[in-house]
Amino acid sequence: MTSTPPDAAASVPAGEAGGPATPHVALDHPGIVELFALLAYGEVAAFYRLTEEARMAPNLNGRINMASMAAAEMNHYEVLRDALDQRGVDVVPAMTKYASALENYHRLTTPSTWLEALVKTYVGDAMAADFYLQIADVMPDEVAEVVRSVLSETGHSQFVVAEVRAAVTASDRQRHRLALWSRRLLGEAITQAQFVMADHDELVDLVMSGGGLSQMTDFFDRLQNTHNRRMQELGLA
Amino acid sequence: MTSTPPDAAASVPAGEAGGPATPHVALDHPGIVELFALLAYGEVAAFYRLTEEARMAPNLNGRINMASMAAAEMNHYEVLRDALDQRGVDVVPAMTKYASALENYHRLTTPSTWLEALVKTYVGDAMAADFYLQIADVMPDEVAEVVRSVLSETGHSQFVVAEVRAAVTASDRQRHRLALWSRRLLGEAITQAQFVMADHDELVDLVMSGGGLSQMTDFFDRLQNTHNRRMQELGLA
């Protein structure tokens, strides 16, 4: 449990291909509470945005799929709230400081059509999954478990693929439009992630303990790579 | 399983005090599919209404409590969808016919303050729980199990009690206002329930098989009684 020394292997980058890297981060690293708080607000913000964007759904099926995804976000939130609770931290005050970055991301990426809403859902879900997986690799087991159990609930957004592919196969204009839109989503997410890092030293230190600066660059590179893979799945590449 | 004869004991009212009554309804009664479809739409409608009404929350805590309740509604929905699926019924077309009654209920009871939203949540959750419990008693085991598993998820609305009690203790005017409001909620729910019954013979037949007309009168009487108990809990009686 506590056998992982804090900065033990700061120069060793996290393993990308060869299986999960050895955890580098101490269980009591103050960044862990901040990370959980950030993710918790992310889940609540996603819940309300998904539900609002579901108004654009052309039919009941679409509204129900969005509602199911939103419900899954609240289940993730509850996992994170309990993990914070076990560390003696009250989730609501802890997560409030991350509100502006997440609300800004959503405000700057408000979809104007149902297809944009679908792509945002898919891209957002995929980015969250990448993010969770990458941080789980460098965390102590107990923390990785929380992160992976949150991750295991994602995958609700598969319903998006068929609908988006059909639309972009039928219309080149739609494909170009949605390809630009998805690039904008990634850009805004990275911008807001960098703002969060700039404001919260514990989080920067957490990423540093997990492998240093190369880890941070790798992190954004990998986000970009998996984003490209998602664009191919949606027929937007 | 199928050993319960349909109209076997139509004159025996469902046991109110002496434990659950013997199931009176056949497993293949066509009203069961209709009941599940009605409840399924009820969950989806509640999800979207709770989420919309949560906008009135004065703080993040209130918004999160509402979101957790809404997420629980979607979990109920999924139980009902799976139960319909096992009976070879596609949930979305089956439930669409109940949309107008449920949307009308919500439209006619749109809260204008956060306290009204809280009371509506509490009263609605309690009415749903009463309803589920009462129908479970007269259903075949397999159906009762579905109904009870949906019920077991309720109880999220306890957070309402403290907030409403505090408000009505501090203000008589608020107490009178919310007492009227809660009576209106019950009234509209009963009105819409009667409309649904009038339009759907299979549901009427289901209630009749479950104990006949006295059962139906008892049902509304009991709703009224438990409603009064809830009003006391909220300090509104």
For B137-154, the pLDDT digits (tens) are: 777 888 888 777 776 655
Confidence band of B17 (pLDDT split at 50, 70, 90): very low
Minimal CA separation from B55 to chain A, in Å: 9
The answer to whether residue B179 neighbours chain A at the CB level (below 8 Å) is no
A228–B contact, CB cutoff 8 A: no
User: CB distance from B60 to chain A under 8 Å?
Assistant: yes
Model pLDDT, residue B11:
38
Q: Report, as an integer, the average pLDDT of A153-181.
A: 85
pLDDT at residue A56 in the model: 92
**Of the partner residues A48, A64, A74, the one whose CB lies closest to the CB of residue B44:** A64
Evaluate if residue B94 carries a pLDDT over 80: yes
Size of interface A-B (CB pairs under 8 A): 61
Residues of B in contact with A61 (CB under 8 A): 92
Quote the pLDDT of residue A116: 95
CA distance A92 to chain B (A): 7
pLDDT exceeds cutoff 80 at A62: yes
Strand extents, DSSP E, A48-126: none
What ranges in chain B are assigned the alpha helix state H? 30-53, 60-86, 91-96, 99-108, 114-138, 141-151, 159-170, 172-199, 201-209, 212-233
More confident site: A136 or A188: A188
Average pLDDT over residues A198-213: 77
**Torsion-angle region of residue A212: left (phi > 0), alpha (psi -120 to 50) or beta?**
left
Spell out which residues of chain B touch residue A90, defining contact as CB-CB under 8 Å: none
- The whole-angstrom distance between A65's CA and the closest CA on chain B is 10
Q: By percentage, how much of chain B surpasses pLDDT 90?
A: 37
pLDDT above 70 covers what percent of chain B? 84
Domains of chain B: 30-234 (1.20.1260.10)
Given a cut of 50, is residue B4 above it in pLDDT? no
- Which of A60, A67, A92 shows the shortest C-beta gap to B96? A60
Structure tokens at A120: 């945002």
Q: What is the mean pLDDT of chain B?
A: 81
**Mean pLDDT (whole number) for B105-130:** 89
Per-range mean pLDDT, top range of A61-75, B15-29, B87-101: B87-101
pLDDT at A143 over 90: no
| Per-residue pLDDT at B64 exceeds 80 | yes
* A77 near B CB under 8 A: yes
Terminal-to-terminal C-alpha distance of chain B: 43
Instruction: Provide, rounded to the nearest whole percent, the portion of chain A with pLDDT above 90.
Output: 36
Q: Which of B64, B92, B159 would you mutate first to test chain A, the one with the most A CBs within 10 A?
A: B64
DSSP 3-state of B57: coil
Quickly tell me which residue has 């990785």 as its tokens. A144
Give the per-residue pLDDT at B24.
66
Nearest chain B Cα distance for residue A172, angstroms: 32
What does the pLDDT average to over B157-168?
86
Contact yes or no for B63 and A48 at CB 8 A:
yes
Rounded to the nearest integer, the mean pLDDT of chain A is 82
- Within 13 Å and on the Cβ side, how many CA atoms surround B56? 16
Q: At what angle do helices B212-233 and B172-199 cross, to 10 degrees?
A: 160
Confidence (pTM): 0.79
CA distance A153 to A128: 11
Q: Do B44 and A51 touch (CB under 8 A)?
A: no
Judge whether B80 and B36 are in contact, CB under 8 Å. yes
Greater pLDDT, A5 or B50: B50
Interface residue A60 vs chain B (CB under 8 A): yes
Q: Per-residue pLDDT averaged across B168-182, rounded?
A: 93
Residue A6: band (very low, low, confident or very high) from pLDDT cuts 50, 70, 90: very low
Identify the band that residue A168 occupies on the pLDDT scale cut at 50, 70 and 90: very high
Looking at the complex, report in whole angstroms how far the Cα of residue A59 sits from the nearest Cα belonging to chain B. 10
Closest chain B CA to residue A55:
B48
Residue pair A133/A17 in contact (Cβ under 8 Å)? The answer is: no
- Identify which of A60, A61, A71 has the shortest CB distance to residue B71: A71
* pLDDT-derived band at A75, boundaries 50, 70, 90: confident
Contact assignment for B48 to A51 by CB distance below 8 Å: yes
Out of A51, A77, A92, closest to residue B51 by CB: A51
* Range of A215-229, B12-26, B60-74, B143-157 with top mean pLDDT: B60-74
Look at B211 and A7; give whichever has higher pLDDT. B211
- Average pLDDT of span A125-130: 79
Q: What pLDDT was estimated at residue B214?
A: 63
pLDDT, residue A58, reads: 92
Q: Name the pLDDT band for A184 (thresholds 50, 70, 90).
A: very high
